[in-house]
Amino acid sequence: MPVLEGWGIPTPISLIEVLSEVGDRVDVIASGGMKTGLDVAKSLALGAKAAGFAGVVLYKLIKGGPGALKKYLENVERELIYSMALVGAENVSSLRKRPLIIGGKTYNWLKYRGIKVKFN
């Protein structure tokens, strides 16, 4: 196990913490650890205005070239569309109105940090 594996704040937790402070006064972009369309869907459902990819995009480009990157990004888009369809969301606005359940490590982290989360 690499020394720093698990170091830092997971993206969903960081996103919720930021949104609990700034509300809708600023547009928040979720980034860090994004790899799939499901990651994007979750971030948008939590309140992010957008999601950013960096490391995985560079990795795909360097290892596989532009064609591999294009295929990867098309797959991310497809996963996002499927994720939204599975929860009955026609668009991002309706995705943000779907009920959320926060559990496990994320719930415990927020509880111990005293962050009250109010979702639809």
Query: Which of 44, 26, 27, 33 is CA-nearest to residue 11?
Result: 33
Quote the DSSP letter at residue 1. Answer: -
Which pLDDT does position 119 carry in this prediction?
Answer: 60
**Tokens 């609990």 map to which residue?**
20
Question: Structure tokens of 85?
Answer: 């369809």
Condensed to tens digits (0 to 9), the pLDDT of residues 58-67 reads: 999 999 999 9
Which pLDDT does position 13 carry in this prediction?
Answer: 94
- HSE, CB side, 13 Å, CA atoms: give it for residue 36: 7
Which pLDDT does position 8 carry in this prediction?
Answer: 85
In total, the chain counts a number of residues equal to: 120
Under the banding of pLDDT at 50, 70 and 90, the label for residue 1 is low
Domain boundaries, position 101: 11-112
Condensed to tens digits (0 to 9), the pLDDT of residues 30-53 reads: 998 899 999 999 999 999 999 999
Q: Is 29 helix (H, G, I), strand (E, B) or coil?
A: strand
Inform me whether the pLDDT recorded for 120 exceeds 60: no
Per the domain annotation, does 119 fall within a domain? Answer: no
Q: Is there a contact between 16 and 105 (Cβ–Cβ < 8 Å)?
A: no
Where residue 72 sits, what CATH number does that domain have?
3.20.20.70
- H-helix or E-strand spanning residue 41: helix 37-46
Condensed to tens digits (0 to 9), the pLDDT of residues 74-110 reads: 999 999 999 999 999 999 999 999 999 998 999 999 9
Q: Where are the beta strands (DSSP E) in 1-120?
A: 29-31, 50-52
* Residue-averaged pLDDT of the chain: 92
Please indicate whether residue 41 or residue 4 has the higher confidence score (pLDDT). Answer: 41
Q: How many domains does the chain have?
A: 1
Per the domain annotation, does 1 fall within a domain? Answer: no
Q: Is 50 helix (H, G, I), strand (E, B) or coil?
A: strand
